[in-house]
Structure formats: C-alpha cells, structure tokens
Structure 1
Amino acid sequence: MTSEVEPLRPPQSRVAYVVERLKEDLANGLIQPGEVIKQTVLAKRYGVSPTPVREALRALEADGTITYQPHRGASVREMAPEAAVDLYRMRASAESTATEMAVERMTPAGLRQIEAKHAELNKARAEGASAARLSQLNRELHFAIYAQSSQLVVDYLELLWSRFTPASTIWTGKHAGDLADDHEAIMEAIRRGDAKQASELMAEHILRASRIRAEDPEARAEGSQTDMDS
C-alpha cells in the first residue's frame, strides 16, 4: 500500500524571485522614481546573474512600473500629478471595499495581527522614527487589514501600491498626526466589527493622502502626463 505524499511545491524561479524583491524595494523606497536601474548592481544585491534581472525588468515594464529609454536603460516610471489623483481614487474605492470585506471576515487571530502592526507604527512614531520607516510600517498595517479579506484582493492592491513609488513620503511631522488619527478611527470601527464605517473611514483616509500629495509641494508627484502615457 502506497502512502499519499503531498507533492513538493516547485522552487520559485529566479525571475519571479527578482520581481518580488524589486517590488519590495520599490514599495520601501529603496529604488526611487527616475532612478536609473543598474542590472549588475541588482544582480549582486539579489545574488543572481544579470539574466533573471533583465527578464524581471521586462516583466515590470509590461505592467507599467518600469520604463526603458534609449541610451539610458531602465528606470522607475515617474507618476504625473493627474495620474496620482486617478490612482488614489482607485485605491480609495478598492481599499474601502477590502476593509469592509476584512471586517466581515475578521478572526481573533487576524485582529491581533492588525493590533500588533498598529501598535508598532504608533511606537515608532512616538520614538521619532524616520518618515521612511513610518511609511513602511504604514504599508504593513494597511496590508495586515487587507489580508483578512482574500489573497485575490491583496494581490490587486499590491499592484495598485506598486504603481506609486514616490521619492518622498507623506509620513512627515506635519502630516503624520492626521494620518495617525485616521488610523485610530479605523481601528475603533474594526474593533466594533462595524464593517460599513471602517470602509468609509478607509476611503476618506486614502483621499486625505491624495489631498496631501496634491497640496504639498514636497510630496507632489513630479512626472509628466506624457511620460505616463508613453
């Protein structure tokens, strides 16, 4: 009698590995919009040959994250102000829906994970962490919430977030307080199990970020609409 053995998952391809690492570095601000991407540098950083790096860049070019220019090579696409507004409107709609779904499906373990990320962000802010660190923790909190919905939703939202990799963050001293207050209100609604209010508060939180981007010259998107459409 033969025993059933669960088949081993195939190892992640080098190209998929590099794509994942690139997206992480973009989300964390390690690679900035307009910055020229050197394949040899990335290959050394990720411990692979230049070939999977080249293929990964082509994949990101296909989804609009990376752009190639003659005699310059690959760089992160810069987002125009108009496109940034469009993206935030899409995010507000999608992330409010994701939040509503998350609250509807919330488990005690899921709530503990969200509370932990919320506490970590608040602690970092109280200790004077850098804006870049606060931005990273903010992303982790948001996706801790969305993870309670479904992987399909998370994958879609990761794509939206990867489209905007700003050179600056809105998690600076003059904006961080308002953003943190938004988080507190969202968390209160989540704790109460009020999916509708949590959804509405999340939408307003995303739109607040859009207004900050539009009104603050230090956080404003700098690309041109022509560049975004090319």
Structure 2
Amino acid sequence: MDNNFKVNMNEYLPLRDVVFNTLRQAILKGELAPGERLMEIQLAEKLGVSRTPIREAIRKLELEGLVLMIPRKGAEVAKISEKSLRDVLEVRRSLEELAIELACQRMTQEDLVQLEQRQEIFCRAIRSGSPMEMAESDEAFHDVIYLSTGNDKLVQMLNNLREQMYRYRLEYIKDADKRQVLMVEHEHILNALKGRNLSEAKLAAREHIDNQEITVSKNIKEQEENILPGRGRR
C-alpha cells in the first residue's frame, strides 16, 4: 500500500469519524483504487491509529456502497459497475422528478435567488476548480432544489442517496468534454423553475440524469477494456 493519503485530525470530530472521512476521500479521489484490499493492520499503521476506528470506518463505507466485504478475503474498494450506476440512477430519477414537481410549486423567491447563486459558484468551479470542487458545487445546486420542497422525508431519502451518487457525480465531472454541457443543463433546470414550467423542468432534470448515465457507462466500459489483470490490487 503506497498511497499518499494521510489522516487529518479534527479536534471537533471523534477519531472514528476522522478515519472514516480520510478513507472515504481516498476512495473518491482514487487514492484507494477500485478492487484494492483494505487491510486493517496496514491502514492502522499508515494512519497512526488503532484497528478499531479502521474497522468502524470500513463498516460505514460498506453501508455507503464504497466498500465490499468479500467472503474469505475481507474488505475491498467497490468497483464502479454499470449495474450499480443504473440502480442508483433509477432511484434518483424518481426522487428527482418528485423534488422538481414540489419545488416548482413551493420555491420562494429567496430559493430562486439562492439557486442562481449556486449556479454561479458551479460555473466558477467548472472554469477553474478541481473535480471535487465541481462535484461539491454541483451537489450544492441540487440541494437548494431539494430543500425548497419543504418535504423532510424526501430530503432525507435524497441525502441517503447522496453518498452513493457522489462517486458517479465525480466520475461524470472528470470528463472535461461534458463540463460545458453540465452548465447548460443546470441553466435549463434553473430557467424552467423560475418560469414555474413543470414539464420543462422535469424534462431538463431527466436529460441531466440520462446524460450522466450515458457518460459514466462509457467511462466504465473504457476502464474495463484498458485495465490489466490484477491491476488495482496491491
């Protein structure tokens, strides 16, 4: 295990949360590669902690779909598969459509102003930010829509899906050719919501998700074609 990531201590967080955040970021950034085994002893030594917070973090990462427990082998970083992408996006499409419908009815002027501000931040990130900044600002744009629904249960369900979506969102944004398209898609959603045009807003949101599925599926296939036997296991 020759990764460069290290634990960043935070006096306000319990150690288990610090370790979880460290490993999660390492997976999302690709510092821990898909298929790579997560050895508790090695990770504990690397991060300078005991095995207990490592074990707790791995269990939590498994719940998010970022880690798989393999019988007789232990934990490994989950591969990005077309099926898992399709499963997540099928759920997101349904929830997003409901969120758009409620937002179209309930968004206040303040919500719309905030959505415009988030779009400006997203555009700046596209022009000069890192992939993670782009992914986080993309997420923040959609959060305004979700919160504007006023439906706590829907927001909770979308937040539960957020962690699984983040990896695919990051994979999508890594494709530089699609970044301008993303800005345009956001503009379509924003303008439709401003005009309270439900059919246009739903169509724009659906195209946004469909394009993500097409692009990430293509990336997954290319990675599978290029990967060498045994690569990703260290």
Alignment TM-score > 0.5, same fold: yes
Q: Which range moved further: 28-37 or 175-184? A: 28-37
Structure 2 equivalent of residue 111 of structure 1: 112
Deviations 1:95-150 (A, max 9, x none): 12112222322123322322221100112223x32333222221221222212223
* 1:220 shift after superposition: 6.2
Q: How many residues are paired up?
A: 210
2: CA distance, partners of 1:44 / 1:132:
24
Question: Is 1:188 paired with 2:191?
Answer: yes
Higher relative contact order (CA 8 A, sep 6+): 1
With over 3 angstroms needed to count, the CA separation of the structure-2 counterparts of 1:212 and 1:111, relative to structure 1, is: same
8 Å Cα contact 2:24-2:61 kept in structure 1: no
8 Å Cα contact 1:19-1:57 kept in structure 2: no
Structure 2 equivalent of residue 92 of structure 1: 93
Structure 2 equivalent of residue 4 of structure 1: none
Deviations 1:134-191 (A, max 9, x none): 2222122122221222332222223323225259622232111112111111010111
Structure 2 equivalent of residue 209 of structure 1: 212
8 Å Cα contact 1:80-1:221 kept in structure 2: no
Deviations 1:27-86 (A, max 9, x none): 9647664344466858997x9865344234324435644222367643332232133223
CA RMSD of aligned residues (A): 3.8
1: CA distance, partners of 2:86 / 2:214:
8
2: CA distance, partners of 1:117 / 1:110:
10
Question: Is 1:199 paired with 2:202?
Answer: yes
With over 3 angstroms needed to count, the CA separation of the structure-2 counterparts of 1:168 and 1:187, relative to structure 1, is: closer
Which runs of 5 or more structure 2 residues have no equivalent in the other structure? Answer: 1-11, 228-234
With over 3 angstroms needed to count, the CA separation of the structure-2 counterparts of 1:78 and 1:158, relative to structure 1, is: farther
1: CA distance, partners of 2:18 / 2:116:
31
1: CA distance, partners of 2:94 / 2:198:
14
Identity %: 25
2: CA distance, partners of 1:220 / 1:59:
27
2: CA distance, partners of 1:56 / 1:123:
33
Instruction: Tell me which of 157, 163, 171 is aligned to 1:169.
Output: 171
1: CA distance, partners of 2:168 / 2:141:
19
Which runs of 5 or more structure 1 residues have no equivalent in the other structure? Answer: 1-10, 224-230
Structure 2 equivalent of residue 83 of structure 1: 84
TM-score, length basis structure 2 = 0.69
SS at match of 1:147: helix
Structure 1 equivalent of residue 123 of structure 2: 122
Question: Is 1:141 paired with 2:141?
Answer: yes
8 Å Cα contact 1:132-1:169 kept in structure 2: no
2: CA distance, partners of 1:22 / 1:96:
33
